[in-house]
A and B are shown apart, each in its own frame.
Chain A
Amino acid sequence: MIVFRHVDKVYPNGFVGLRDVSLQIEQGEFVAIIGLSGAGKSTLIRSINRMHDITGGELTVDDADVRSLKGKELRRFRRKIGMIFQSFNLVTRTTVIKNVLTSFVPDLPFWRVLFGIFPQEAKIRSLEALDKVGILEKAYVRVDQLSGGQQQRVALARTLAQDPSIILADEPVAALDPVTAKQVMDDFRRVNQAMNISVLINIHHVELALEYADRIIGIREGEIVFDGPVSEVNEKVLSDIYAGKLEEVI
């Protein structure tokens, strides 16, 4: 369970990223966060695993106070939160399996990390993760040989190998074509339903958000302007979220 209580984020240059954000996200929810570029979607998602620090309020994830974590505690805390990026963030010069295996690097003894000798169990778990996203046969192929959609699946497999309870996805389909985007969204849905992993997605495509998510959070200039189930989203709500620029979205 993720709880925001009156969270603020002000960047060092004075830009307000988040303003008095309060929300509660239960385990296993599929949440889409929508809003204009620069509205604070990324800031919201990245404050959950402390890739960004918040400057006010209280944020707890499964009863852990995120603001007070540091060093080793913070790294252990991040182990159970997966993250997916717009540009996949894979090492494209190596094979798929090596990318997935990196999710074990934080926990392995140092000599194994140094020489890159992974235990059998890690290899099997990595292959199983690849199987879950349907690209097992690509395990020993170099990442730069894969399409964008396949690369995002490798990234998802890397996150699954970490066995997270929450997945944060920052614009996961923005770099993909519409068909591939749907396939990747299907993967997220499957992971969410089959494994009860909470999924929080930042997304520009409103129609994908409405189709896949259970709950929509609309954010405008750092403030939550809508928070509710998909069924309550209508034209007026969207117009409010997108500050009257709705025509440009749909």
Chain B
Amino acid sequence: MSLYSRVIKPKSLILGNGKVVDEPRSKAPLVIVLFCIASLISIKITGFDMAVMFSRGGQFLVILRKMVPPEFAYMPKIWQPLFDTIKMSLLGSFVGAVLAVPFAVVASSNIVKNRFVIVFVRLLLSIVRTLPTLVTALIATYIFGLGTLAGTIAIAVFTFAYVGKLLYEEIETVDMGPFEAMQAMGANKGRSFMYAIIPQVLPSYLSNCLFCFEGNVRYASILGYVGAGGLGLILNEKIGWREYTKVGMILVMLFATVVIIETFSHWLRSKLT
């Protein structure tokens, strides 16, 4: 009997033939109580104040209202940074996703038997994943200078860690049967991997890459804040100068781009599975 059942006695159900079945009590009430306590504590700690929310919340709308109508005349100046943003995310996603493959293979416990190697590579992936993209971009601008190269590298680093983790988890759940069959046929480990494991993980790998690319377009649009090129650069500038109609135009274009890319990527991913 579990600890929970010992503390809170199960409900006894009696069947027609006299057999007794103990139904463990639901854990939901306990979870709800704990959740409420945690919420109260976090409100205390963060100083969240409902009164301020009500009195100042309206200011959101004031800024939003200033963005309407967006200044369409500004559009021609947005194309270049917008394409920079897309280029950064596309190239960065591609480079990161390709680099992730060898690392993911080495991090898979069903392929590599050496515990030390696995733990080392996984630790590396987690550390890289913990770095916020904005911080990576900032560091990259110190090394490679201001501009889209720094942004591309920041995106690649994030994609590498993200796709790498998803891929090694995917590799670990494959059916090892075909791999065994390839080995029994006299194929070496590399060829067995290529023909038994890759076909199993390829669709979800591509799907993950596309999903990551979708997100990267959004990340890339703020990387300009630290000088890494793209939309963020002019977004930062126009907010600073309070030219909200231009900010509105930038957001509309970004929104349209993200929707188009997400729709396309969603359609592609639905074809993959």
What is A's interface to B at a CB cutoff of 8 Å? 49, 51, 74-79, 81-83, 85, 87-94, 98, 102-103, 105-106, 113-114, 155, 158-159, 162
* B2 interfacial contact with A, CB 8 Å: no
A14: shortest Cβ distance to chain B, in Å? 21
A54: shortest Cβ distance to chain B, in Å? 16
B177 touches A106 (CB 8 A): no
| 29 pairs, A vs B, C-beta closer than 8 Å | A75-B188, A76-B186, A77-B186, A78-B183, A78-B184, A78-B186, A79-B186, A81-B184, A82-B185, A83-B184, A83-B185, A87-B175, A87-B177, A89-B181, A90-B177, A90-B181, A91-B200, A92-B175, A94-B199, A102-B187, A102-B196, A105-B182, A105-B194, A105-B195, A106-B185, A106-B186, A113-B194, A114-B194, A155-B181
B261: shortest Cβ distance to chain A, in Å? 27
* B203 interfacial contact with A, CB 8 Å: yes
- Give the A-B pair count, Cβ closer than 8 A: 74
* B191 interfacial contact with A, CB 8 Å: yes
B199 touches A51 (CB 8 A): no
A103 touches B199 (CB 8 A): no
Known contacts A85-B177, A89-B177, A91-B178, A78 near B199 by CB under 8 Å: no
| Identity of the chain A residue whose Cβ is nearest the Cβ of B203 in the assembled complex | A93
User: Within the assembled complex, what's the spacing in Å between the Cα atoms of A226 and B191?
Assistant: 40
| Identity of the chain B residue whose Cβ is nearest the Cβ of A110 in the assembled complex | B191
* B180 interfacial contact with A, CB 8 Å: yes
User: Within the assembled complex, what's the spacing in Å between the Cα atoms of A155 and B184?
Assistant: 12
| Identity of the chain B residue whose Cβ is nearest the Cβ of A71 in the assembled complex | B188
B181 touches A113 (CB 8 A): no
Q: Which of A91, A114, A155 has the most CB of B within 10 A?
A: A91
Q: In the complex, how many residues of chain B place their beta carbon closer than 8 angstroms to a beta carbon of chain A?
A: 19
Q: What residues of B have a CB within 8 angstroms of the CB of A51 in the complex?
A: 180, 183-184
Q: What residues of A have a CB within 8 angstroms of the CB of B183 in the complex?
A: 51, 78
What is B's interface to A at a CB cutoff of 8 Å? 175, 177-178, 180-188, 191, 194-196, 199-200, 203
Q: What residues of B have a CB within 8 angstroms of the CB of A76 in the complex?
A: 186
User: Within the assembled complex, what's the spacing in Å between the Cα atoms of A93 and B175?
Assistant: 11
A106 touches B188 (CB 8 A): yes
A113 touches B199 (CB 8 A): no
Q: What residues of A have a CB within 8 angstroms of the CB of B181 in the complex?
A: 83, 85, 89-90, 102, 155, 158
B182 touches A102 (CB 8 A): yes
| Identity of the chain A residue whose Cβ is nearest the Cβ of B202 in the assembled complex | A93
B241: shortest Cβ distance to chain A, in Å? 54
User: Within the assembled complex, what's the spacing in Å between the Cα atoms of A89 and B199?
Assistant: 13
Known contacts A85-B181, A89-B181, A102 near B203 by CB under 8 Å: no
Q: What residues of A have a CB within 8 angstroms of the CB of B187 in the complex?
A: 75, 102, 105-106
B143: shortest Cβ distance to chain A, in Å? 34
A219: shortest Cβ distance to chain B, in Å? 21
